Amino acid sequence: MVCFLWFEPLSIVEYAGTYNDPSQLHALVDDSIPPPDFIEFCTRVIRTTAVSKEVALLGLLFIHRLRMKNIEVQGKSGSQWRIFTIALMLGNKSTLSI
């Protein structure tokens, strides 16, 4: 999901939230499909830090909001590692302050 939110054009991300007609599905950008080493990294970080599901979901929400508020932001190949880590840190920080 991190790669989808980070690499897909905003029009596709917005369309995914209003999915109605399967005939209008589009192929994903190559970087939107996470490589196995990135999946392993995410799994390891989430298990090691023992963050809750809420923290992970909040991190995804932060990535989505970043893209929506800054339309010119476009993920570059390989940047998903940093955006995932930062989003998870911010999500954890935000839930700790509640």
pLDDT in tens, 18-74: 766 666 667 778 888 999 999 999 999 999 999 999 999 999 999 999 999 998 888
- Cα first-last separation, the chain: 25
Read off the pLDDT band of 11 (50, 70, 90): confident
Q: List the one residue out of 63, 68, 71, 69 whose CA is nearest residue 91.
A: 63
Residues 93 and 98: their CA atoms lie apart, in Å, by 9
Q: Which residues contact 58 (CB under 8 A, 6 or more apart)?
A: 90, 91, 94, 95
pTM higher than 0.85: no
Query: Which pLDDT value is given to residue 19?
Result: 64
